[in-house]
Chain A
């Protein structure tokens, strides 16, 4: 897999502990979560169920609960924890913190993105 393109997003304190915020990058709406334990995780903002805004959900450990119909998404893997036996995954993005700023990694080329989209 290609090295992603790292993009500086916002100071860590712009996302309160155990909350999420949305950011639009390269036409994608991405949700970034502050897990409250110095970790930040990023996923696509749309719930795989009905497209609910995951950034508005309640964070439960390293999962988030969609505010629309309470689907529970694992933020580390993008997999659906509830309801059970849903195979869909949402896209996750690598993250790191540099100088107090949240940085996330975007897939490099449109081609790569397309390939991943098909895989999902």
Chain B
């Protein structure tokens, strides 16, 4: 076997090795990586910084993969020299390794512009997992960060730092952001989005120096102004790493020059990825790496003939809620531009057409059609006939339509270059049924992840036993899926359960559909519907929780778990007066009076003089709090007040399933906010808002929705999620299932990162519902029906 030495353990090198492994074995492989990690997905570093993924989540090739393929892996060793005559490489550990074939996958490094003081502590590039970890360690609420460079990487770094709690300013040399991918108009839209997120952007300014004594304290700009900064992140561009190539005597321009077969000027040395220059172009994107890797694998294994002819450049900004996509040549020279923009929604789209074919595309604010455009670009599709539908494709009635229309040769995963045909073959040949199997087998959707839904569509269409979450009809009485039903109720303006059952169902209904329909109508019409008590569970008819012996339990509202001696006395008096069999402190910081007769409920409510705690319903249960800054010596936020206020804003409202919340004043998490449906976690300088936690039948750690500075902002984020859950979850779907089903990325995108108009509409509907809601226990004084709480008194009596 020949000895193949691979220098570089990054995405390009390992993608190429993966391709080489698809051929008959002919190499004994050794891989050198100067980082101490196995191969990970570098383009996902920004989502690690933003806390969306953990470092483990972005591993592409675990250590077992290297072992399984008998690859010798040398981590933390930098190759410092190549001897092309004796065919050896030398490591910085002094080791000398002989090769028959050498593969350089040395990638690129952050380009450090001429700025004074870049050697100061607190100055970073944002290039590796170690950089990312250090940035996470150093950032936090109150930290001031300056990002030098308003390109793709700089903006992603800025957002990540901001999510970590930093105050972030981006300083960009050019007059608009991402000028290499976006025209000035699109750059302006992007700038508005970044500023809406709370990131300050300074354009047209050069950073001339990092200030500070030993460590960064600020930066000086070309306009003589200065910015205070604890962290300075330089993201000014990348440069191919070609030092070794020089030593190997290869032809090098900007990058290592390769031909269409991916050969360098030395027949025994190959190169792939960001370090190479092909037809005069050095790529800094992920898709070309894979395309090059395939060709190189063919060439290196003696299957010469495959050719790499270049890649249509495409870039996608990975910032949640800021959708930006750019591809091809979008300049307006010699092209016909087609444009659409909507300032209120922050949507900007531009296509350029040349000779009836798509030449380039820019999308800001809505990138849902990016696949379609990318395919047109790659295939050079003639668009003459669809000229009027370019920006507005007809409504796709079926989600699978896009997938069905695509030709077999069309690329589904642009990052890893996986075609529709390859996916379909994999599904058939390997019996694939799940997305994770598909990822494992084809690597599709393991790059930026934007093709995940397309992959799922294909699985759905082709896999014989695709395990998808089936859109279940609500029940046989009204045979529609819940989202469809919501549309029907809204569009047909139906306001009563019985009407729905008679028009769209069997006219009868059951204990499954009736409460679900009741909830939907209440939510859709913000409480302005014809409430039918017979359609609701007994608990909601009498506002108490039925027990195994037919008695009820009474839980008064004690907001945030904060009560008073007076309330406690009244509770005690009530317990005495009505001979309540058990008085229990609940797990939710409430007091439960158990074993109450139905006819006593109104009297007990009156004597308590407290509102309903709604412990019996699918609605807002409670907010649990710790003592926060009021008494606790560790408290960093006033969690008690925040929790009480959150409870006030949400109480009396119904939800698809019960909603339990908590607010804690510090990350010690004494009120267990991270396992609640909604949790506010106080930290120095702000709050983390977490959602979808559970500590019941399921145990699930809540996902981070957003990090904000003020209590009001935290409450608003909670409100957005709360209303979004009310409107989109299926009945009896807890937030932890809901968040898991949709994915936190989608939830964020539709709530805290949604356009201003969308957010405002959610809040408006929530407030409308709230304005119509009232304390259920007031019915004790004014019953809905004379016999609501009392048994019938027979007109005639009979003796036993």
Contacts and interface: CB of A to CB of B under 8 A. Distances in A.
Interface of A: 5, 7-10, 14-19, 21-27, 32, 36, 50-53, 56-61, 65, 67-68, 70, 101, 106
Nearest to B797: A25
Interface of B: 508-511, 514-515, 532-538, 541, 546, 548-550, 785-787, 791-800
B510 A14 contact: no
B800 A27 contact: yes
A60 B787 contact: no
B791 A17 contact: no
B791 A58 contact: no
B103 to A, nearest CB: 65
Contacts of B549: 51
A59 to B, nearest CB: 7
A11 B512 CA distance: 30
Given A27-B800, A58-B534, A68-B546, A16 B794 contact: no
Contacts of A65: 510-511
A21 B794 CA distance: 11
B700 to A, nearest CB: 26
Given A53-B550, A58-B510, A23 B535 contact: no
Given A67-B546, A68-B546, A23 B794 contact: yes
Given A52-B550, A58-B511, A67 B538 contact: yes
Contacts of B509: 60
B789 to A, nearest CB: 11
Contacts of A60: 508-511, 514
A25 B785 CA distance: 22
A21 B792 contact: yes
B794 to A, nearest CB: 5
B791 A5 contact: no
B792 A22 contact: yes
Contact of B787 (A15, A51, A58, A67): A15
Contacts of A23: 791-794
Nearest to A61: B508
Contact of A50 (B514, B532, B535, B548): B548
A115 to B, nearest CB: 16
B598 to A, nearest CB: 8
Contact of A106 (B535, B791, B795, B798): B798
A67 B794 contact: no
B392 to A, nearest CB: 46
Nearest to A110: B800
Contact of A18 (B534, B548, B794): B534
Given A7-B798, A60-B510, A67-B546, A14 B786 contact: yes
Given A22-B791, A58-B534, 7 more contacts: A19-B533, A19-B541, A26-B799, A36-B534, A51-B550, A52-B550, A68-B546
A59 B534 contact: yes
Which of A17, A50, A67 has the most chain B CB atoms inside 10 A of its CB?
A: A67
29 contacts: A7-B796, A9-B796, A10-B792, A10-B793, A10-B795, A14-B787, A16-B533, A18-B532, A18-B535, A19-B534, A19-B541, A21-B792, A23-B791, A23-B792, A23-B793, A23-B794, A24-B791, A25-B797, A50-B548, A51-B550, A52-B550, A56-B538, A59-B534, A60-B508, A60-B509, A60-B514, A65-B510, A65-B511, A101-B795
A25 B796 CA distance: 9
B794 A25 contact: yes
Contacts of B795: 8-10, 101
Contacts of B794: 7-10, 23-25
Nearest to B497: A18
Contacts of A61: 508
A9 to B, nearest CB: 5
Contacts of B785: 16
Residue from B514, B538, B800 having most chain A Cβ neighbours under 10 A: B538
Contacts of B511: 57-58, 60, 65, 70
Contact of A8 (B508, B533, B536, B796): B796
A91 to B, nearest CB: 15
A18 B800 CA distance: 29
Contact of B535 (A27, A56, A58, A68): A58
A90 B791 CA distance: 20
Nearest to B794: A9
A25 B787 CA distance: 17
